[in-house]
Amino acid sequence: MIIIEESKVLSLPYLFESLDHLQRFKKSNLWKPAVDRIDSLGAVILDKEWTWKVYDPRGLISTRPISTPKDMEGLKLRIWESKTAIETWRGFGANTIVVPRPEFYLAFKQGVVEGGPETIGVAVDQKSVEVGKFWTRTDEYNQINNIMVHKKKYDSLTSEQKGILQKAAENAGKVFAETTQRNYSEKKKRATEEFGVKILEPPLGPWRERGAATIARLVKDNYVQEDFINKIRALK
């Protein structure tokens, strides 16, 4: 069940051209209904500037080298329970298999799956690099986190206290962004030097073509609305 309807677009393949594009969306009136819905559910988003950018890019850990979607054909890929994620990676050519995150390592180790989408930071931290010796940077979507607080508690604060919380969340977001950027370079180095992982950063043209076809298919299926997609793409 999707509680925030607008959230379906966040991980559509290559819809957002950059973290800055995603940030503009989350600060725009297009995302405001989602913020209002979160508020109605009893939470308040603190960082109004959406500064918690994740610079550890999206990618794929696998047991064989993947440079193009054609290389993905038949690959047994661990995926989570998300229509967007499933359709994205099926569109790239993978044989998607839903496996809960806690069970991924064992499934990977036993050959139930041959890889899974995750950042190199996660691949190192979750030990996926012990099994998969190839990591491909795909950048299929961008991520920005945020901090939420209980609405009743927030509403009990003074205007000054609210301002302090919001400023602290914004400042922390900048530190978080810098940390994820540093984390990417450090974890990439660990993956190659300690675990023998080969890092692949292929041209993304073929991946973007498959991503556009996936979005078109999801529009045709009425999973997402074409008008909303076009408005997002037009954001400046």
Q: Identify whether 168 is part of a domain.
A: yes
Are 119 and 56 within 8 A, CB to CB?
A: yes
Query: Residue 162 maps to which CATH number?
Result: 3.40.190.170
Q: Identify whether 88 is part of a domain.
A: yes
| Rounded CA separation 204/207 (Å) | 5
Q: What domain count does the chain have?
A: 1
The DSSP code sequence of 55-80 is -S--EEEESS---SHHHHTT-EEEE-
Q: Identify whether 236 is part of a domain.
A: no
Q: For the segment 62-71, what is each residue's pLDDT rounded down to a tens digit? A: 999 999 999 9
Q: Identify whether 180 is part of a domain.
A: yes
Show the domain range for 177: 5-226
Q: Identify whether 234 is part of a domain.
A: no
Q: Identify whether 112 is part of a domain.
A: yes
Are 46 and 86 within 8 A, CB to CB?
A: no
Tokens coding 195: 């675990």
The values of phi and psi at residue 60, to 5°, are: -140, 125
Percentage of the chain beyond pLDDT 70 is 99
Q: Tell me which H or E stretch contains 44.
A: strand 43-45
Q: For the segment 88-147, what is each residue's pLDDT rounded down to a tens digit? A: 999 999 999 999 999 999 999 999 999 999 999 999 999 999 999 999 999 999 999 999
Q: How confident is the model at residue 6 (pLDDT cuts 50, 70, 90)?
A: confident
Q: Identify whether 106 is part of a domain.
A: yes
